[in-house]
Structure 1
Amino acid sequence: MKYFTQNWYREMQVYGFLTFPDSKEDWDESLNWKYEDGTSYIEILQAELEWRKDDLLTFLPASFHPYILDGSLKTEYPSKELRKMAEEWNENYQSRSHDLSKKYMEQFEEIKEKLPSQVLEIHTKSLHDGEVLSFSLTESTFTLIIAGTGVGWYGTNVKLTFSDVEKCLIPEQLEGSWWLYDEIYKTDTGFELHVLFDCPLSELMIQARELKIETLEK
C-alpha cells in the first residue's frame, strides 16, 4: 500500500479512540454502566488503553505520554488541557487524512479509464468489511471468495477471479481476515491491486491482466 498503509490504519484507530465525553454529567452517567458479567466501564477503558498503548505512544506526541503511561488518558474525566491537546491533534489528523485520500483519488482519476471494467467495480462497489471465506492460487489464476453479506453492495457471497496473474503476495493468514481498504494502479500489462486486511492486519498484492467478479447463490 502506498497510501492506506498499516501504519495509516493504526493511526486511524488512535484517532477513533481519542474521544472524550461531552460533559461531566455524561461521564458520571457512564461510570454507572456495567456489562452483564459485572465488568465496569472503567475496567473496559483500562483494558482498551492497555491494548492500544503501543500505538498511542507511537502516534501521539510526547505531551500525551504521561497520561498514557499512568492510565489516566481515558479513565479520568479529561482536564481542559488534555481536551485541548486532543482536539488539536484530531484536527491535524483529519487534515492529513483528507489530503492523503485526495492524493490517491487524483491518481486514480487519471488511470480509471484505462482499467478493466470489473477492476473499476472494486472501487465503485466497495468490499469493505467483507470476510475472506476462502482463496486459491494456481500458476496463473488467483481466486477469492468474499462474504458479501457483510458489505453494502452485495447480498450474497462474491467470487473474484484474477486471471493471467503476474505477481501475487499473499498474507500468511488470509482466510478469515476482513477486507478494509484497497488501492488500484495501472500496469503496462493490466493492473495492480493492493488490499489492506484486518484480523490480522496484513496486505495482499496482486498484479494481473483481468478480473472477473461473480455473485454466488446462497
Structure 2
Amino acid sequence: MKYWTKKVYEEMQAFGLPGFYETEAELEEARQWAIEDGHDFVERAIEYNEYRMPLWEQYLPRELVEYARNHQMLTCYLPEPKVLQAMQHAKQYWEDKWIGLCNQYAQQYQSILNQLPAGAIELQENCHIHDAKIIAVRELPNNQQIHNTESYKTIEIRLAHDSEYGYRFTFEGVTQFIYDVDILNNICLYKEIDREGEQHFAFGMLLCNAKGTQDSMNQMSIVFQSVTVEQGTHLGATNCSHASKSYGLSFGN
C-alpha cells in the first residue's frame, strides 16, 4: 500500500476527535440516556480517552494531548473555548491532509487508467468493498490460456456485505501475494491499484482483523496479470462450499 497505509489510518483515528455537545440541555439529555442505559456517563468518556491516548500522543499537537490528559477533552462536559478552538484547528488540518491524499491517488490512478485491463478498472471503480468481510481465499487451477508456467498462480478472493451482497475476485497470472497475517475474516477498509512493471498490476487492501487489539491492522497486496470481477446477492452467503486456504507470506516468480 502506498496511499492507504496503516499509518494513515492510525492518524485518521487520532484526528477523529470527540464531538462535544453544544448546550447544557443537550448534555443533560445525554446524561439521562446514560442513566436509562445503565452506564456511567463520565466513566465511559474517560475510557474513550484512555483508549485513544496512545494515538493522540503519537499524532496530535502537544496542547491537545495535555487537554486530553487533564480531562478537558472529555465528551461528558462542555469544552472550554480554547479546547474547542484547538480541536477545530486539528480537524481542519486532517481534513486538508486527507483531501490532498485522495487527490494524489486520483491523479495517480488517472495516469495509468488507459493501461489497466477492464477487470482492474471494474475492481477499482465499481466494487464498494468498505466494511466487507473476506469470507474465502483459495488457489485455483491455472488457466492455461493466460499462462503456462507453474510459477504463476490463480487466486480467488470472496467478500461479503452482511451476508447479503458479495464479490468474487479471480486474479490470474499472480506472481506475488503478500499479507501481514491471515486475511480470512478480515474487514476491508480501503483499496488501491497500480502498475507493477511492464505486464503486471498491483492491487492492495488495508484491512482490519476485527480483534480490537493494537495489531488489528492488516495489509494485503497481490501482483497479477488480469482479474475477473463478479458481484451480486448470490455471492454474499458466508457458508461458502469451497474450502478456504491460508498462504505463506509470498509467492515468488
Relative to the length of structure 2, the TM-score reads 0.78
SS at match of 2:33: coil
1:193 matched to 2:203: yes
Alignment partners' CA distance in 1, 2:165 and 2:89: 42
The code of the aligned residue for 1:65 comes to V
Q: Which moved more, 1:78-87 or 1:57-66?
A: 57-66
Q: Residues 207, 26 of structure 1: CA spacing in aligned structure 2 closer, same or farther, 3 A cutoff?
A: same
In the alignment, the residues of structure 2 paired with residue 93 and residue 86 of structure 1 have an alpha-carbon distance, to the nearest angstrom, of 11
Checking the alignment, whether the CA contact within 8 Å between 1:57 and 1:68 is kept in structure 2 is no
- Seen in structure 2, the aligned counterparts of structure 1 residues 60 and 41 have a Cα distance that, compared at 3 Å, is same
Change (3 A) 1:109 1:91: same
Structure 2 matches for 1:104-143, cutoff 5 A? 104-125=105-126, 126-137=128-139, 140-143=153-156
Larger deviation, residues 81-90 vs 28-37: 28-37
Choose the corresponding residue for 1:210, options 222, 226, 231.
226
Describe the SS at the equivalent of 2:16. helix
Equivalenced residue count is 214
Write the mapping of 1:1-218 to structure 2, written as runs, cut at 5 A.
Answer: 1-34=1-34, 38-74=38-74, 75-125=76-126, 126-137=128-139, 140-149=153-162, 156-187=165-196, 188-198=198-208, 199=210, 200-215=216-231, 217=234
* Secondary structure class of the residue paired with 2:165: coil
- Conserved in 1, the CA contact under 8 Å of 2:172 and 2:224? yes
- Structure 1 unaligned blocks of 5 or more: none
Report the Cα offset of residue 28 of structure 1: 2.5
Mark the runs of 5 or more structure 2 residues left unpaired by the alignment.
141-151, 211-215, 238-253
Q: Which amino acid aligns with 2:34?
A: K
CA RMSD of aligned residues (A): 2.0
- Percent identity (aligned): 21
Query: Counterpart amino acid of 1:106?
Result: Q
Distance in 2 (alpha carbons) for counterparts of 1:80 and 1:27: 16
Residues 49 and 173 from structure 1, CA distance in 2 versus in 1: closer, same or farther, beyond 3 angstroms?
Answer: farther
CA distance in structure 1 between the partners assigned to 2:35 and 2:229 by the alignment: 42
Q: Render the CA deviation track for 1:11-57: whole Å, top value 9, x for unaligned.
A: 21223233222223222221222276611332222222211110111
1:162 partner letter: F
Post-superposition shift, 1:167? 1.1
